[in-house]
Structure 1
Amino acid sequence: MAERYAVDEVATDQIRLLTKVARMYHERGMRQPQIAQQLHISQPRVSRLLKRAVELGIVRTTVLAPRGVYAELEEQIEQAYGLTEVIVADTDDHADESHVMRALGSAAAVYLETTLMGGERIGVSSWSSTILATVEAMHPRPTPVADQVVQMLGGVGNVTAQTQATRITGRLAALTGAQAVYLPAPGLLASGDMRQMFITDPSIEPVLRACDDLTMALVGVGSIEPSPLLRESGNAFAESELPGLRSAGAVGDVCMRFFDSAGAHIESAFDERVLGIAPATLMRVPRRVAVAGGLRKSNAIRAAVRGGWVNVLITDLQVARSLL
C-alpha cells in the first residue's frame, strides 16, 4: 500500500514518463543513450527515471532460479548460521554416498576455480573423501592462483592412506601452481610426549609455522563414527577411544579437533596427541571452507557451522534442508 500511495503522489505526466522509460529499457531492451535520444532528454535523467521507477514499485525485479540451483536455501542457511557463503550441490533424495561425494567434489572444484585469484596460502586437511573428490574434479589453472598448499594435519590411518594424503596436497599444489608444503608425520601420535618431540623436529616445525599465515583452509567434517573410506584405510584411533569421546559429548571433528553439538572444542588427552594445526590457529584463517555432506554427517556439519569451525559450506541438498 505504501508504494501505491507513493505513486498517487506523483503527477500523472511524470508517472507516464517513468513507465514509458521503464518499458523501453526493460521490455524493449533499449540502451539508455537510445532512450535519451528518442525522448530528447539527457542520459543522466534517463538513469534517474529508471531508479525512481524502482523506488515507486513500477519496476520490480524477480530472479527465477533454474532447476538445480538453490539460491534461496543457501541464503537462509547463511543467515541462520552467520556463514559467509553456502553452496548446495544438486543431489536427489535417494543418492548413494558415492554420488553425493562426486556432486560435492564437482561443486567445490567450481568454487575453487572461480574464487582463487592469486597469492593464496591454502591449508588442506590430510585425508578426506570429499577433498579427494574435489581435487579429482579440478582442472589445472593456466596461471598460478596460489603461493602455497600446506598440509595442515599429519597422515591419518595406515601407510597407504598417509601416502594418499601427501598425494592430495601435491595434486592441489600442481593444479593451482603453488608450492606444496608437506607434513611428513602421523596425524595422531601415541602420546603427548611424542608429539612434543615431533613439533621441534626441523622438518616439522616450519610446516606448523606455515599454518599461522594461511588465507584459506580446505577441510572435511568428520562424524564421531569414522567414514567407510577412513575405516578401510585404517582408523587413526582405536575403537576403544570412541566411548571416551562420546562421553565428552563429541559429535564430529575438523582436522581431528573434536567438538560437541554446540560446536565447542573438546579438550582431552586425545587432543594432546594430534599433530596438526591448532584449533585457535584454524579459527583465525579468514576463509575456512568445508566440503561435507551425507545425512550420516548432518549433526557433525551442523555443529561445525555453529561453532565457527568453517565459514564457507559446500554441502548436498539433503543436509542443507536438515540444517534449517
Structure 2
Amino acid sequence: MPTPASRRSSRQVTGDDIVVETAWLYYEEGLNQTEIAGVLDVSRATVVNYLQEARERGYVQVRLAPAAFTGHRLAMALRETFGLAAAYVLPDMDGAAPDTAARVVRGAADWLPSLLSPGDRLGVAWGKTIYDLAEALEPRPIEDLTVLQLVGSMATPYGFSADVCSSNVARKFSARCVNLHVPAILSEARIARTLREEALIAAQLEAMNGFTKTLFAVGSCTEDSHVVSSGVATRQELAWYLGQGAVGVLCGRFIDRAGTPIRGPLDERMMGVDLDRLRERQAGIMVSTGADRVSAALAAIRGGYVTHLVTGQADAEAMLASAT
C-alpha cells in the first residue's frame, strides 16, 4: 500500500500551496523534515523555512496547555504566597541566561491570548521583554480588542520604541491600537504640562487610562539598565532615586521594596501612566526574567500591580525564598 509520501511524490507544488502542503505533511501526517524534503524535492533547510513561514502566516498555531504550567508546584506556591490569580512557571534551560529569558518570553506569548477577552482594553508597557513577546505572539484575532501604549517613546539601544511594542501586539491580535505620540520624558515640566493640554495628546492620555488589563515587565535600577540607556534617567537622577530606596522601574517610574511609587524630579516631566492607575485593573500581567530583576519583580507584586506572573524556575525559587 502506498505511503502518504509516495502518493505525493509526483505532485508539483509551488507558491503559497507549498507552505500549506509542508505544514499538512508535518503536523497532520506526521512526516519528518527529511521525508518532506524528499516528497517536495527541496532541501531540509527549505522545509524548515516553510514550516516557520506557516506559523508566521497563522496557518499553524501551536498551543501548549496552560494548566501544565500554571499547575506547576512553583506556580501554585507563587500564587498562594503572593495572592496572585495565577502564575506560569517555565523550566530553566541548561544554558546561558538569554536562553532561559527567551523561553520565558515564549511562554508568556503562548499564555497571553487565553487571558484576553473580546472587548478588553490592554495597556502595554515598553522594553525588550515586551518587544520580544510581541514578536513571539502567534497571530490570533480577538474581537473588539484595543491595545493602549502606556508610556511615551524614548531612545533605545535595541532599535525599537514604545509605540512599536503596542503596535506589534495589536497587529498580532488584529486589534485597534492607540499610541501615545509624545516622548516618555521631557526636558522641562512646563513643556510636559503644555503637551498634556494639547487636544490630541489629551485624548490619547484619556484613552490610555481606560485600560482593563495591563502587560508589562519591570526593570532593575543598575547603571546599565534600560531606564538609563534609554535616556529616561541620567546616572545622577538614578543615584537620587536609589538614595530614596528605589529597587525597580515600572513603566518608567521608580518603586521601592514595597512597590510604593517614589515621587521625584522625573514625575512632572514624565508622559505616561501614573502607577496608582495600574492598580485599578482586572488583570496585571507581568513577565519577569533574570536574577537581577527578582527584587524589582517582588516590589511590583507587593505594590499590587500584578495579578498574573510569568517567570522561570530559578527566579520563582528566588522570589519564594525572599518571601520567607
When normalised by structure 1's length, the TM-score is 0.73
* Partner of residue 150, structure 1: 148
Alpha-carbon distance in 1 for matches of 2:271, 2:303: 21
Bigger Cα displacement from structure 2, 95-104 vs 251-260: 95-104
Q: Which residue of 1 aligns with 2:112?
A: 112
One-letter code of the match for 2:183?
Answer: P
1:69-102 per-position Cα deviation (integer Å, ceiling 9, x unaligned): 861211111111111111112213x543321331
Q: Pick closer, same or farther for the CA change 1:305–1:114 going to 2, 3 Å.
A: same
1:249–1:229 distance in 2 versus 1, CA, 3 Å: closer
User: Which amino acid in 2 is paired with 1:195?
Assistant: A
Aligned match of 2:275? 279
Please give the residue correspondences for 1:1-324 in structure 2 after superposition, counting only pairs within 5 Å.
71-92=72-93, 95-125=95-125, 127-141=126-140, 143-158=141-156, 161=159, 163-225=160-222, 234-324=230-320
- The whole-number CA distance in structure 2 between the counterparts of 1:226 and 1:145 is 42
- Give 2:150's aligned amino acid: M
CA–CA distance in 2 between the matches of 1:278 and 1:146? Answer: 25
Tell me the alpha carbon deviations over residues 171-198 of structure 1, each in whole angstroms, 9 at most, x when there is no partner. 1111111111111111111122221111
Deviations 1:135-170 (A, max 9, x none): 1111111x4345211101001325985x53222211
Gaps of at least 5 residues in structure 1 are 1-65
Q: Distance in 2 between matches of 1:229 and 1:301?
A: 15
2:155 touches 2:161 (CA, 8 Å); kept in 1? Answer: no
Letter in 2 for 1:276: G
The amino acid of 2:108's aligned partner reads A
Q: In angstroms, what is the RMSD of aligned CA positions? A: 2.4
CA contact (8 A) 2:228 2:235 kept: no
Residue 249 of structure 1, CA deviation:
0.3
Structure 2: runs of 5+ lacking an equivalent: 1-66
Identity over aligned residues, as a percent?
27
Equivalent-residue separation in structure 2 for 1:187 and 1:309 (angstroms): 20
Note closer, same or farther for the CA distance 1:135–1:182 as it changes in structure 2 (3 Å cut).
Answer: same
CA deviation digits over 1:41-83, x for unaligned, max 9? xxxxxxxxxxxxxxxxxxxxxxxxx998861211111111111
1:319–1:271 distance in 2 versus 1, CA, 3 Å: same
Contact 1:138/1:175 (CA < 8 Å) preserved in 2? yes
**Native 8 Å contact 1:83 1:312 kept in 2:** yes
Distance 2:157 2:267 in 1: 22
Equivalent pairs counted in the alignment come to 255
On the 8 A contact 1:183/1:207 being kept in 2, the answer is: yes
How far 1:227 moved relative to its partner?
A: 5.6
Separation in 1, partners of 2:88, 2:313: 9
**CA distance in structure 1 between the partners assigned to 2:69 and 2:276 by the alignment:** 37
Preserved CA contact (<8 Å) 1:69 1:90: no
1:18 aligned partner: none
* Structure-2-length-normalised TM-score: 0.73
Q: 1-side partners of 2:193 and 2:71: how far apart? A: 47
User: What is the distance in 2 between the residues matched to 1:80 and 1:153?
Assistant: 30
Contact 2:122 2:148 survives alignment (8 Å): yes
SS at match of 1:132: helix
The Cα shift of 1:107 comes to 0.9
Q: Which amino acid aligns with 2:197?
A: T
Whole-Å Cα distance in 1 between the matches of residues 226 and 192 of structure 2? 26
Alpha carbons of structure 1 residues 67 and 123: separation in structure 2 relative to 1, 3 Å: closer
* Maintained 8 Å contact 1:116/1:145: no
Q: Kindly tell me: are residues 95 and 274 of structure 1, through their superposed partners in 2, closer, same or farther at Cα, counting changes over 3 Å?
A: farther
Deviates most, 164-173 or 238-247: 164-173
Whether contact under 8 Å (1:157, 1:230) holds in the other structure is: no
Residue identity matched to 2:98: S
Change (3 A) 1:277 1:118: same
Shift of 1:279: 1.5
